[in-house]
A and B are shown apart, each in its own frame.
Chain A
Amino acid sequence: MTKVTLTVNGKTVSKSVEGRTLLSSLLRDDLHLTGTHIGCDTSQCGACVVHVNGEAVKSCTMFAAEADGAEVKTIEGMANADGSLSTIQAAFKEHHGLQCGFCTPGMVMSAAALLKDNPKPSEAEIREYLEGNLCRCTGYHNIVKAIMAASGQDVPAVAAE
Protein backbone atom coordinates (compact mmCIF):
# COMPACT_ATOMS: atom_id res chain seq x y z
CA MET A 1 0.00 0.00 0.00
CA THR A 2 1.14 3.51 -0.82
CA LYS A 3 -0.08 6.68 0.80
CA VAL A 4 -1.21 9.33 -1.64
CA THR A 5 -2.09 12.92 -0.91
CA LEU A 6 -3.85 14.94 -3.56
CA THR A 7 -6.25 17.83 -3.98
CA VAL A 8 -9.68 16.87 -5.26
CA ASN A 9 -12.06 19.68 -6.15
CA GLY A 10 -10.07 22.01 -3.91
CA LYS A 11 -9.94 19.71 -0.87
CA THR A 12 -6.78 17.93 0.25
CA VAL A 13 -7.28 14.21 0.78
CA SER A 14 -4.94 11.39 1.87
CA LYS A 15 -5.59 7.71 1.25
CA SER A 16 -3.69 4.45 1.27
CA VAL A 17 -3.94 2.73 -2.10
CA GLU A 18 -2.70 -0.48 -3.68
CA GLY A 19 -0.35 -0.24 -6.64
CA ARG A 20 -3.15 -1.41 -8.94
CA THR A 21 -5.74 1.07 -7.66
CA LEU A 22 -6.91 3.23 -10.52
CA LEU A 23 -7.60 6.92 -10.10
CA SER A 24 -11.23 6.21 -11.05
CA SER A 25 -11.48 3.67 -8.19
CA LEU A 26 -9.94 6.10 -5.71
CA LEU A 27 -12.44 8.77 -6.70
CA ARG A 28 -15.51 6.54 -6.71
CA ASP A 29 -14.84 3.89 -4.05
CA ASP A 30 -12.69 5.73 -1.53
CA LEU A 31 -13.84 9.33 -1.93
CA HIS A 32 -17.44 8.43 -2.97
CA LEU A 33 -17.32 10.88 -5.88
CA THR A 34 -19.47 8.69 -8.10
CA GLY A 35 -20.10 11.36 -10.69
CA THR A 36 -17.03 10.07 -12.49
CA HIS A 37 -18.48 7.15 -14.44
CA ILE A 38 -16.82 3.94 -15.56
CA GLY A 39 -18.36 3.03 -18.87
CA CYS A 40 -15.96 0.64 -20.54
CA ASP A 41 -12.92 0.35 -18.27
CA THR A 42 -10.89 -0.13 -21.46
CA SER A 43 -9.82 3.48 -22.07
CA GLN A 44 -12.22 4.00 -24.93
CA CYS A 45 -15.46 5.62 -23.78
CA GLY A 46 -14.28 8.70 -21.89
CA ALA A 47 -17.06 8.64 -19.25
CA CYS A 48 -14.30 8.70 -16.61
CA VAL A 49 -12.52 11.84 -17.87
CA VAL A 50 -11.35 14.14 -15.08
CA HIS A 51 -8.78 16.92 -15.00
CA VAL A 52 -5.37 16.17 -13.50
CA ASN A 53 -3.29 19.32 -13.08
CA GLY A 54 -5.67 21.01 -15.51
CA GLU A 55 -5.47 18.39 -18.27
CA ALA A 56 -8.16 15.94 -19.34
CA VAL A 57 -7.20 12.35 -18.58
CA LYS A 58 -9.05 9.06 -18.46
CA SER A 59 -9.12 8.27 -14.76
CA CYS A 60 -9.56 4.55 -15.50
CA THR A 61 -6.19 4.63 -17.27
CA MET A 62 -4.04 6.24 -14.61
CA PHE A 63 -2.96 4.76 -11.30
CA ALA A 64 -3.96 6.51 -8.10
CA ALA A 65 -0.35 6.30 -6.93
CA GLU A 66 0.63 8.50 -9.86
CA ALA A 67 -1.81 11.19 -8.79
CA ASP A 68 0.14 11.82 -5.59
CA GLY A 69 0.57 15.57 -5.26
CA ALA A 70 -1.76 16.29 -8.16
CA GLU A 71 -4.70 18.64 -8.38
CA VAL A 72 -7.74 16.71 -9.58
CA LYS A 73 -11.06 18.14 -10.67
CA THR A 74 -14.12 15.97 -11.20
CA ILE A 75 -17.67 16.69 -12.34
CA GLU A 76 -18.55 17.35 -8.69
CA GLY A 77 -16.19 20.32 -8.83
CA MET A 78 -17.73 21.88 -11.91
CA ALA A 79 -20.71 23.74 -10.48
CA ASN A 80 -20.40 27.39 -9.49
CA ALA A 81 -19.58 28.22 -5.87
CA ASP A 82 -23.24 28.96 -5.11
CA GLY A 83 -24.26 25.52 -6.37
CA SER A 84 -25.73 26.73 -9.66
CA LEU A 85 -24.73 24.98 -12.88
CA SER A 86 -21.58 26.16 -14.61
CA THR A 87 -21.89 27.66 -18.09
CA ILE A 88 -21.06 24.35 -19.76
CA GLN A 89 -23.43 22.34 -17.58
CA ALA A 90 -26.23 24.86 -18.12
CA ALA A 91 -25.65 24.70 -21.88
CA PHE A 92 -25.91 20.90 -21.84
CA LYS A 93 -29.24 21.27 -20.05
CA GLU A 94 -30.51 24.01 -22.33
CA HIS A 95 -29.58 22.23 -25.56
CA HIS A 96 -30.55 18.71 -24.46
CA GLY A 97 -26.94 17.58 -24.62
CA LEU A 98 -27.81 14.42 -22.75
CA GLN A 99 -30.40 11.72 -22.72
CA CYS A 100 -29.44 8.88 -20.36
CA GLY A 101 -26.65 11.06 -18.95
CA PHE A 102 -24.09 8.32 -18.48
CA CYS A 103 -21.45 9.90 -20.70
CA THR A 104 -22.21 13.42 -19.52
CA PRO A 105 -19.59 13.79 -16.75
CA GLY A 106 -16.84 12.91 -19.22
CA MET A 107 -18.37 15.08 -21.93
CA VAL A 108 -18.50 18.10 -19.61
CA MET A 109 -14.94 17.58 -18.41
CA SER A 110 -13.66 17.19 -21.98
CA ALA A 111 -15.63 20.24 -23.08
CA ALA A 112 -14.10 22.27 -20.25
CA ALA A 113 -10.60 21.15 -21.25
CA LEU A 114 -11.27 22.06 -24.89
CA LEU A 115 -12.63 25.53 -24.12
CA LYS A 116 -9.68 26.28 -21.82
CA ASP A 117 -7.27 25.81 -24.75
CA ASN A 118 -9.58 26.88 -27.56
CA PRO A 119 -12.26 29.31 -26.34
CA LYS A 120 -14.05 29.55 -29.71
CA PRO A 121 -13.79 26.12 -31.35
CA SER A 122 -15.41 25.37 -34.68
CA GLU A 123 -17.97 22.61 -34.93
CA ALA A 124 -15.34 20.39 -36.60
CA GLU A 125 -12.85 21.07 -33.81
CA ILE A 126 -15.43 20.13 -31.18
CA ARG A 127 -16.25 16.89 -32.94
CA GLU A 128 -12.59 16.00 -33.29
CA TYR A 129 -11.87 16.82 -29.66
CA LEU A 130 -14.68 14.53 -28.51
CA GLU A 131 -13.21 11.56 -30.38
CA GLY A 132 -12.45 9.85 -27.08
CA ASN A 133 -15.89 10.44 -25.54
CA LEU A 134 -18.59 8.04 -26.64
CA CYS A 135 -22.32 8.83 -26.39
CA ARG A 136 -24.80 6.15 -27.44
CA CYS A 137 -27.96 8.30 -27.12
CA THR A 138 -27.67 11.71 -28.67
CA GLY A 139 -25.77 11.19 -31.89
CA TYR A 140 -23.56 14.01 -30.56
CA HIS A 141 -25.45 16.83 -32.31
CA ASN A 142 -26.87 18.36 -29.17
CA ILE A 143 -23.61 17.90 -27.31
CA VAL A 144 -21.85 19.85 -30.05
CA LYS A 145 -24.55 22.49 -29.93
CA ALA A 146 -24.19 22.78 -26.15
CA ILE A 147 -20.44 23.31 -26.41
CA MET A 148 -20.90 25.89 -29.18
CA ALA A 149 -23.38 27.72 -26.95
CA ALA A 150 -21.14 27.46 -23.87
CA SER A 151 -18.35 29.11 -25.87
CA GLY A 152 -20.63 32.06 -26.60
CA GLN A 153 -21.06 31.24 -30.27
CA ASP A 154 -24.19 30.95 -32.33
CA VAL A 155 -25.59 27.48 -32.28
CA PRO A 156 -25.76 26.25 -35.86
CA ALA A 157 -28.39 23.98 -37.29
CA VAL A 158 -26.16 20.95 -37.04
CA ALA A 159 -26.70 18.68 -39.98
CA ALA A 160 -26.55 14.93 -39.71
CA GLU A 161 -23.45 13.69 -41.48
Chain B
Amino acid sequence: MYDFEITKPGSIADAAKALGGDDAQALGGGQTLIPTLKQRLASPTTLVSLAGLSEMVGICKDDDGRLCIGGATTHAAVAADGSYPGLSGLAAHIGDPAVRNRGTIGGSLANNDPSACYPAAALGSGATIVTNAREIAADDYFKGLFETALEEGEIITEVKFPVPEKSNYQKFVQPASRFALVGVFVAKYADGVRVAVTGASEEGVHRWTAAEEALNANFSADAIAGLDAPSGDGMINDLHGSGEYRAHLVKVMTGRAVAAAA
Protein backbone atom coordinates (compact mmCIF):
# COMPACT_ATOMS: atom_id res chain seq x y z
CA MET B 1 0.00 0.00 0.00
CA TYR B 2 1.03 3.59 -0.56
CA ASP B 3 1.40 5.42 2.71
CA PHE B 4 -1.46 7.50 4.06
CA GLU B 5 -2.72 8.90 7.33
CA ILE B 6 -5.77 7.56 9.16
CA THR B 7 -7.92 10.00 11.07
CA LYS B 8 -10.62 8.93 13.46
CA PRO B 9 -13.12 11.75 13.80
CA GLY B 10 -15.43 11.77 16.80
CA SER B 11 -18.56 12.98 15.03
CA ILE B 12 -20.22 12.96 11.60
CA ALA B 13 -19.55 16.71 11.34
CA ASP B 14 -15.83 16.22 11.97
CA ALA B 15 -15.76 13.32 9.50
CA ALA B 16 -17.36 15.50 6.82
CA LYS B 17 -14.79 18.21 7.51
CA ALA B 18 -11.92 15.72 7.25
CA LEU B 19 -13.32 14.39 3.96
CA GLY B 20 -13.08 17.90 2.56
CA GLY B 21 -9.28 17.60 2.56
CA ASP B 22 -7.22 16.82 -0.55
CA ASP B 23 -7.46 13.16 -1.61
CA ALA B 24 -9.33 12.15 1.52
CA GLN B 25 -11.34 8.93 1.35
CA ALA B 26 -13.96 7.54 3.71
CA LEU B 27 -13.15 4.16 5.31
CA GLY B 28 -16.14 2.07 6.37
CA GLY B 29 -15.44 -1.51 7.43
CA GLY B 30 -12.64 -1.69 4.89
CA GLN B 31 -13.53 -5.13 3.55
CA THR B 32 -13.38 -3.85 -0.02
CA LEU B 33 -11.27 -0.73 0.37
CA ILE B 34 -8.32 -2.39 2.14
CA PRO B 35 -7.85 -5.05 -0.58
CA THR B 36 -8.18 -2.21 -3.13
CA LEU B 37 -5.44 -0.24 -1.39
CA LYS B 38 -3.21 -3.32 -1.24
CA GLN B 39 -3.47 -3.61 -5.00
CA ARG B 40 -2.57 0.08 -5.29
CA LEU B 41 -5.80 0.74 -7.13
CA ALA B 42 -6.42 3.74 -4.87
CA SER B 43 -3.97 6.17 -3.31
CA PRO B 44 -5.70 8.49 -0.86
CA THR B 45 -3.64 10.87 1.25
CA THR B 46 -5.95 10.45 4.21
CA LEU B 47 -8.43 7.77 5.22
CA VAL B 48 -11.27 9.00 7.38
CA SER B 49 -12.42 6.13 9.56
CA LEU B 50 -16.18 6.02 10.05
CA ALA B 51 -16.26 2.75 12.00
CA GLY B 52 -15.93 4.44 15.38
CA LEU B 53 -18.81 6.88 14.91
CA SER B 54 -21.31 5.54 17.44
CA GLU B 55 -24.04 7.88 16.14
CA MET B 56 -23.92 5.86 12.88
CA VAL B 57 -24.23 2.42 14.50
CA GLY B 58 -27.48 0.71 15.39
CA ILE B 59 -30.90 -0.39 14.19
CA CYS B 60 -34.26 1.10 15.16
CA LYS B 61 -37.78 1.68 13.85
CA ASP B 62 -39.03 5.17 13.00
CA ASP B 63 -42.57 6.50 13.43
CA ASP B 64 -43.52 5.25 9.96
CA GLY B 65 -42.46 1.70 10.85
CA ARG B 66 -39.37 1.87 8.68
CA LEU B 67 -36.27 -0.01 9.77
CA CYS B 68 -33.51 2.56 10.18
CA ILE B 69 -29.98 1.20 10.02
CA GLY B 70 -26.98 3.37 10.86
CA GLY B 71 -24.47 3.65 8.04
CA ALA B 72 -21.65 2.09 10.10
CA THR B 73 -23.75 -0.88 11.22
CA THR B 74 -22.12 -4.21 10.36
CA HIS B 75 -23.63 -6.94 8.22
CA ALA B 76 -23.51 -9.22 11.29
CA ALA B 77 -25.69 -6.81 13.26
CA VAL B 78 -28.27 -6.61 10.46
CA ALA B 79 -28.19 -10.40 10.09
CA ALA B 80 -28.92 -10.79 13.80
CA ASP B 81 -31.77 -8.26 13.86
CA GLY B 82 -34.51 -10.28 12.17
CA SER B 83 -37.28 -7.67 12.10
CA TYR B 84 -37.01 -7.56 8.28
CA PRO B 85 -36.38 -11.23 7.45
CA GLY B 86 -35.51 -10.75 3.77
CA LEU B 87 -32.93 -8.11 4.64
CA SER B 88 -31.44 -10.07 7.55
CA GLY B 89 -31.25 -13.17 5.37
CA LEU B 90 -29.36 -11.22 2.73
CA ALA B 91 -26.94 -9.74 5.27
CA ALA B 92 -26.33 -13.19 6.77
CA HIS B 93 -24.82 -14.42 3.51
CA ILE B 94 -22.56 -11.53 2.52
CA GLY B 95 -18.94 -12.67 2.39
CA ASP B 96 -18.06 -14.81 5.40
CA PRO B 97 -18.48 -14.37 9.17
CA ALA B 98 -15.26 -12.38 9.66
CA VAL B 99 -16.14 -10.07 6.77
CA ARG B 100 -19.65 -9.58 8.19
CA ASN B 101 -18.16 -8.54 11.53
CA ARG B 102 -16.37 -5.59 9.87
CA GLY B 103 -18.21 -4.71 6.66
CA THR B 104 -20.90 -2.03 6.89
CA ILE B 105 -24.12 -1.24 5.03
CA GLY B 106 -23.00 2.30 4.31
CA GLY B 107 -19.70 1.12 2.90
CA SER B 108 -21.38 -1.41 0.64
CA LEU B 109 -23.93 1.08 -0.71
CA ALA B 110 -21.31 3.80 -1.21
CA ASN B 111 -19.10 1.40 -3.17
CA ASN B 112 -22.02 0.02 -5.25
CA ASP B 113 -20.13 -3.01 -6.51
CA PRO B 114 -22.21 -4.42 -9.40
CA SER B 115 -22.15 -7.85 -7.72
CA ALA B 116 -22.78 -6.73 -4.14
CA CYS B 117 -25.90 -7.87 -2.27
CA TYR B 118 -26.98 -4.74 -0.37
CA PRO B 119 -27.78 -2.62 -3.45
CA ALA B 120 -30.46 -5.21 -4.37
CA ALA B 121 -32.05 -4.88 -0.93
CA ALA B 122 -32.00 -1.08 -0.98
CA LEU B 123 -33.46 -0.83 -4.49
CA GLY B 124 -35.85 -3.74 -3.95
CA SER B 125 -37.21 -2.12 -0.79
CA GLY B 126 -37.41 1.41 -2.16
CA ALA B 127 -35.17 2.40 0.71
CA THR B 128 -34.10 5.94 1.50
CA ILE B 129 -30.37 6.61 1.69
CA VAL B 130 -29.75 9.30 4.29
CA THR B 131 -26.51 11.25 4.12
CA ASN B 132 -25.03 14.05 6.18
CA ALA B 133 -26.51 16.43 3.58
CA ARG B 134 -29.83 15.02 2.32
CA GLU B 135 -32.10 12.04 1.73
CA ILE B 136 -31.89 10.13 -1.56
CA ALA B 137 -34.52 7.65 -2.80
CA ALA B 138 -32.94 4.34 -3.84
CA ASP B 139 -34.49 4.76 -7.32
CA ASP B 140 -32.36 7.92 -7.75
CA TYR B 141 -29.26 6.66 -5.95
CA PHE B 142 -27.73 3.87 -8.06
CA LYS B 143 -26.08 5.23 -11.21
CA GLY B 144 -24.25 2.23 -12.71
CA LEU B 145 -21.10 0.26 -11.92
CA PHE B 146 -19.52 1.71 -8.77
CA GLU B 147 -21.40 4.97 -9.46
CA THR B 148 -23.89 6.55 -7.08
CA ALA B 149 -25.62 9.87 -6.51
CA LEU B 150 -23.22 10.61 -3.63
CA GLU B 151 -21.24 13.83 -3.96
CA GLU B 152 -17.55 13.96 -3.13
CA GLY B 153 -17.14 13.57 0.62
CA GLU B 154 -20.82 12.81 1.29
CA ILE B 155 -21.36 10.23 4.05
CA ILE B 156 -24.18 7.65 4.27
CA THR B 157 -25.31 8.10 7.85
CA GLU B 158 -28.43 5.92 7.75
CA VAL B 159 -30.55 3.78 5.46
CA LYS B 160 -34.34 3.62 5.99
CA PHE B 161 -36.14 0.47 4.79
CA PRO B 162 -39.93 0.22 4.56
CA VAL B 163 -40.66 -3.30 5.85
CA PRO B 164 -42.61 -5.36 3.31
CA GLU B 165 -45.32 -7.98 3.89
CA LYS B 166 -43.11 -10.63 2.30
CA SER B 167 -39.56 -10.63 1.01
CA ASN B 168 -36.68 -12.86 0.03
CA TYR B 169 -33.25 -12.66 -1.57
CA GLN B 170 -31.80 -15.42 -3.70
CA LYS B 171 -28.16 -15.37 -4.68
CA PHE B 172 -26.46 -17.58 -7.24
CA VAL B 173 -22.85 -17.32 -6.13
CA GLN B 174 -19.84 -17.20 -8.37
CA PRO B 175 -18.09 -20.25 -6.92
CA ALA B 176 -14.62 -18.71 -6.52
CA SER B 177 -15.39 -15.21 -5.25
CA ARG B 178 -18.72 -16.06 -3.58
CA PHE B 179 -20.04 -12.75 -4.89
CA ALA B 180 -23.43 -12.80 -6.59
CA LEU B 181 -23.20 -13.98 -10.18
CA VAL B 182 -26.87 -13.03 -10.08
CA GLY B 183 -28.86 -12.02 -7.02
CA VAL B 184 -32.55 -11.14 -6.92
CA PHE B 185 -34.39 -9.36 -4.12
CA VAL B 186 -38.19 -9.56 -4.11
CA ALA B 187 -40.33 -7.48 -1.75
CA LYS B 188 -44.14 -7.44 -1.63
CA TYR B 189 -45.64 -4.22 -0.26
CA ALA B 190 -49.29 -3.29 0.12
CA ASP B 191 -48.88 -0.88 -2.81
CA GLY B 192 -46.94 -3.21 -5.09
CA VAL B 193 -44.10 -5.66 -5.61
CA ARG B 194 -40.50 -4.62 -6.23
CA VAL B 195 -37.90 -6.86 -7.88
CA ALA B 196 -34.25 -5.77 -7.86
CA VAL B 197 -31.44 -7.60 -9.62
CA THR B 198 -27.72 -7.43 -8.82
CA GLY B 199 -24.71 -9.04 -10.46
CA ALA B 200 -26.30 -9.33 -13.89
CA SER B 201 -26.36 -6.02 -15.72
CA GLU B 202 -23.65 -3.82 -17.17
CA GLU B 203 -25.68 -0.97 -15.69
CA GLY B 204 -25.39 -2.38 -12.16
CA VAL B 205 -28.33 -3.03 -9.87
CA HIS B 206 -31.71 -2.51 -11.56
CA ARG B 207 -35.40 -3.35 -11.28
CA TRP B 208 -37.05 -6.01 -13.42
CA THR B 209 -40.31 -4.25 -14.13
CA ALA B 210 -41.90 -7.03 -16.22
CA ALA B 211 -41.62 -9.33 -13.21
CA GLU B 212 -43.02 -6.66 -10.91
CA GLU B 213 -46.09 -6.28 -13.13
CA ALA B 214 -46.64 -10.03 -13.31
CA LEU B 215 -46.27 -10.36 -9.53
CA ASN B 216 -48.64 -7.46 -8.87
CA ALA B 217 -51.30 -9.45 -10.75
CA ASN B 218 -50.39 -12.80 -9.18
CA PHE B 219 -47.74 -13.11 -6.46
CA SER B 220 -46.61 -16.63 -7.21
CA ALA B 221 -43.68 -18.46 -8.77
CA ASP B 222 -46.05 -19.49 -11.58
CA ALA B 223 -46.34 -15.85 -12.61
CA ILE B 224 -42.57 -15.79 -13.15
CA ALA B 225 -42.53 -19.15 -14.90
CA GLY B 226 -44.86 -17.71 -17.54
CA LEU B 227 -42.54 -14.78 -18.31
CA ASP B 228 -39.76 -14.59 -20.87
CA ALA B 229 -36.37 -14.12 -19.26
CA PRO B 230 -35.08 -10.55 -19.64
CA SER B 231 -32.93 -9.89 -22.69
CA GLY B 232 -29.29 -10.91 -22.52
CA ASP B 233 -28.34 -7.63 -24.22
CA GLY B 234 -26.67 -5.36 -21.70
CA MET B 235 -26.06 -8.21 -19.28
CA ILE B 236 -22.49 -8.79 -18.08
CA ASN B 237 -20.68 -11.15 -20.43
CA ASP B 238 -17.46 -12.55 -18.95
CA LEU B 239 -15.59 -15.79 -18.31
CA HIS B 240 -18.00 -16.65 -15.48
CA GLY B 241 -21.07 -16.58 -17.68
CA SER B 242 -22.56 -15.10 -20.84
CA GLY B 243 -25.16 -12.37 -20.86
CA GLU B 244 -27.82 -14.88 -21.85
CA TYR B 245 -26.81 -17.18 -19.02
CA ARG B 246 -27.15 -14.36 -16.53
CA ALA B 247 -30.50 -13.33 -18.02
CA HIS B 248 -31.76 -16.87 -17.58
CA LEU B 249 -30.52 -16.88 -13.99
CA VAL B 250 -32.43 -13.66 -13.31
CA LYS B 251 -35.68 -15.46 -14.11
CA VAL B 252 -34.74 -18.59 -12.14
CA MET B 253 -33.62 -16.68 -9.04
CA THR B 254 -36.70 -14.43 -9.16
CA GLY B 255 -38.93 -17.50 -9.18
CA ARG B 256 -37.06 -18.97 -6.24
CA ALA B 257 -37.25 -15.71 -4.30
CA VAL B 258 -41.01 -15.50 -4.81
CA ALA B 259 -41.45 -19.13 -3.75
CA ALA B 260 -39.37 -18.57 -0.62
CA ALA B 261 -40.78 -15.13 0.28
CA ALA B 262 -41.92 -14.90 3.89
A82 to B52, CA, bound (A): 36
Once bound together, how far apart are the Cα atoms of A49 and B30, in whole Å?
15
Contact of B6 among A49, A65, A113, A133 (CB under 8 A): A65
Q: Which residues of B contact A113 (CB under 8 A)?
A: 97
Assess the A63–B98 pair: CB atoms within 8 A: no
- A43 touches which one: B1, B49, B99 (CB < 8 A)? B99
B211-251 interface mask toward A, CB cutoff 8 Å, 1 = contact, 0 = none?
00000000000000000000000000000000000000000
B101 and A56 contacting across the interface, CB-CB below 8 Å:
yes
Q: Check: B51 CB closer than 8 A to any chain A CB.
A: yes
Contacts of B27 in A (CB 8 A): 63
Binds A, one of B34-42, B63-71, B114-122: B34-42
Task: Determine if A151 is an interface residue (Cβ-Cβ < 8 Å).
Answer: no
Q: Is the CB of B98 within 8 A of A49?
A: yes
**Cβ contact within 8 Å between A43 and B35:** yes
Number of interface residues of A (CB under 8 A): 27
Asked if A132 contacts B30 (CB within 8 A), the reply is no
Given the known A-B contacts A41-B38, A131-B178, are A19 and B96 also in contact in the complex, defined by CB atoms under 8 Å? Answer: no
Whether B101 and A20, one on each chain, are in contact in the complex, defined by CB atoms closer than 8 angstroms, is: no
Q: Does B47 contact A (CB under 8 A)?
A: yes
The one of B31, B49, B99 in contact with A66, judged by C-beta atoms closer than 8 angstroms, is B49
In the complex, the answer to whether B3 meets A61 with C-beta atoms within 8 Å is no
A residues in contact with B4, CB < 8 Å: 19-20
Q: Name the A residues within 8 Å of B99 (CB-CB).
A: 43, 58, 61, 132
Q: In the docked arrangement, what's the CA distance between A62 and B52, Å?
A: 13
> In the assembled complex, which residues on chain B have CB atoms less than 8 Å from the CB atom of A110?
97-98
B6 adjacent to A58 (CB under 8 Å)? no
Asked if B2 contacts A42 (CB within 8 A), the reply is: no
Residues in B whose Cβ lies below 8 Å from that of A131: 96-97, 178
A66 touches B98 (CB 8 A): no
Chain B residues with a Cβ closer than 8 Å to the other chain, count: 27
Q: Which of A18, A43, A49 has the largest number of chain B CB atoms within 10 A?
A: A43
Tell me the bound Cα distance from A113 to B256 in angstroms: 32
- CA distance in complex: A52, B178 (Å): 24
**B152 in contact (CB, < 8 A):** no
Cα separation A110 to B96 with both chains bound (whole Å): 11
**CA separation between A23 and B95, bound complex, in Å?**
20
Asked if A122 is an interface residue, CB under 8 A from chain B, the answer is no
- Which has the most chain B C-beta neighbours within 10 Å: A2, A61, A65? A61
The reply to whether B102 and A46 contact each other, CB–CB distance below 8 Å, is: no
Report the Cα distance A41→B97, complex, angstroms.
Answer: 17
Task: Tell me the bound Cα distance from A20 to B51 in angstroms.
Answer: 16
Instruction: Identify the closest chain A residue to B95 (Cβ).
Output: A132
- Residue B76 lies at the interface, judged by CB distance under 8 Å to chain A: yes
Cβ–Cβ < 8 Å partners of B35 in chain A: 42-43, 61
Tell which of A42, A43, A57 touches B101, judged by Cβ atoms closer than 8 Å: A57
Tell me the A101-154 residues at the B interface (CB within 8 Å). 110, 113-114, 129, 131-133
B1 lies within 8 A of A20 (CB): yes
Q: Does B8 contact A (CB under 8 A)?
A: yes
| B45 → chain A closest CB, angstroms | 10
Q: Are A55 and B101 in contact (CB under 8 A)?
A: yes
Taking a contact as CB atoms under 8 Å apart, the answer to whether A18 and B3 are in contact is yes
Q: List 7 A–B pairs whose Cβ atoms lie within 8 Å, in order of A's numbering.
A: A19-B5, A19-B6, A22-B34, A55-B101, A66-B6, A110-B97, A133-B96
Further contacts, 17 of them, CB under 8 A, given A19-B47, A20-B1: A2-B6, A20-B3, A22-B34, A43-B31, A46-B96, A49-B98, A56-B98, A58-B98, A58-B102, A61-B31, A61-B34, A65-B49, A68-B8, A110-B97, A131-B97, A132-B95, A132-B96
